[in-house]
Each structure stands twice: as structure tokens, then as C-alpha cells.
Homo-oligomer: A and B are copies of this chain.
Amino acid sequence: MSIIKKIFSNSRSSEDGIFFDAIQKILGFKPLNLNNYRKAFTHRSMNKVDEKGNSINYERLEFLGDAMLGSVIAAHLFNEVPTGDEGYLTKMRSKIVSRDHLNELGKDLNLIKYVESKVSTQHFGENIHGNLFEALIGAIYLDRGFVYCEKFIHKKVIVPYVDIPKLEGKVISYKSLVIEWCQKEKKTFHFDVFEDNGNEGVKYFGVKLKIDNKIVARARATSKKKAEEKASQRAYFAFQEKMSPNT
């Protein structure tokens, strides 16, 4: 009993423990040293400095994370699209690492929840989400090196978001492809959307896509539109041969 009391009375380590768990959940692996992750969530309004007078906030980490993200995406595109020339690769990369896209990624991970700031988070602009996302990648690089950066980016960016045909503009919306196909095939379709917040403290929407009253795909995302699109994409890939616009 006294040991438990001691643990809880030590608010510092309990706070560290909560932060550690949150970071581990976001990363999908154990952080080795929390310092850089703390920095990745420290806004300049905190006016923190280290013992040498250097500012402690996430802005320098953004620079580092942006560079690492750029090279991981470059390597992915290089390997994934052997037909793409330098111009194509450059263009595709800038679509993937666009400000809007990074903001979306940061928002989906709800990074803003962990920011230490003297300014209310409501006063931040949209870019805070992408900035935190880049800073987090910078912290991962410092903590665990390039290979872990690559793993994280693969899991959080490439697998869920990097859809090359869509980025190429060949597919505008999977939802419209699904609808067209259903109409052509005289099938009924229905997107069953519901709120699905889980324990994450951020609004999520779940969707079940039914075709002829049978669930063919499920998805979950931070907006209705995204959840529908994700479910449609899953259905599209499952039925790709039947629905491909080229066949």
C-alpha cells in the first residue's frame, strides 16, 4: 500500500508514465528517451530554454522531421513506381507531403491534445497539426534513428494515405466509382454512418458500406466523408476487377 502511495505521490514519474503511454500508443513502439518527444510537443509560447539558453520548442524538430519524411517518401515512390521519372517522383512527393495532407495526418493522430502551450489550442491555425506531425518524426529520428522513422511513416502515412492512382488523379473518388458500378449493375447501395469515438477523445465516424443489403466494407475516420471514401476504396480494391473503369 505504501509503495503504491509513493508511486502516486511522485507526480513527476506518474506524469512521465502517462506521457510515455500516450507516445508509445502513437508511435506503435517504445520511445527510449522522452526528452525529444516532450520538445516535439512544446510550443514556443512556453518560452522554455535549456541550461545553455537555447530555446526548447518543436520548431527545430519540424525542420528535421520534414527532411526525414521527404526522404522516406522519396524512397517509397522510387521503389513503388519504377516507371516514374524524376519530374513525376518530385510531383507525387509534393502531393504527399503537402501542408494540407500533413495537417490531416496530425489531426488524425490528435497530436494537439499533447501540446504544452500558454496560448489556447483554439487559437492555433490549421498548420499546427502538420507542424506537430513533422516535429514528432524529428523526435523519432533523434530517439531511434532512420529505420524507425521509416517504420512509423510507413504505418501512419504510406499504408493509410498513399494511394498512388488517386494521387495521380486517375481516380478522383472511390465513392463515385462504387456508385457508378452499382448503378450500372442495378444494385442497391447504402452508406451506414455512425459516430464511433472510442476512447480517443476525438470525434470519429464509422461507416458500413452495404451493397444489395450485404456489408462489403467497413471504415473509420475523422469525418463522414473520409470514412465513406475509405470504405469505398476498400470495396473498390476488393472488387477491383469488376469495377475497374478500364474494363
Contact = CB atoms under 8 A, between A and B. Distances in A.
Interface of A: 52, 54-55, 59-60, 62-64, 66-68, 70-71, 74-75, 78, 82-86, 89-90, 138, 141, 146-147
Contacts of A146: 71, 146-147
A59 B85 contact: yes
Number of copies: 2
Contacts of A83: 54
Given A71-B71, A75-B141, A146-B146, A62 B86 contact: yes
22 contacts: A52-B82, A54-B82, A54-B83, A55-B85, A59-B86, A60-B78, A63-B74, A63-B89, A63-B90, A64-B74, A64-B75, A64-B78, A66-B74, A67-B70, A67-B71, A67-B74, A68-B71, A68-B74, A70-B70, A71-B71, A71-B146, A146-B147
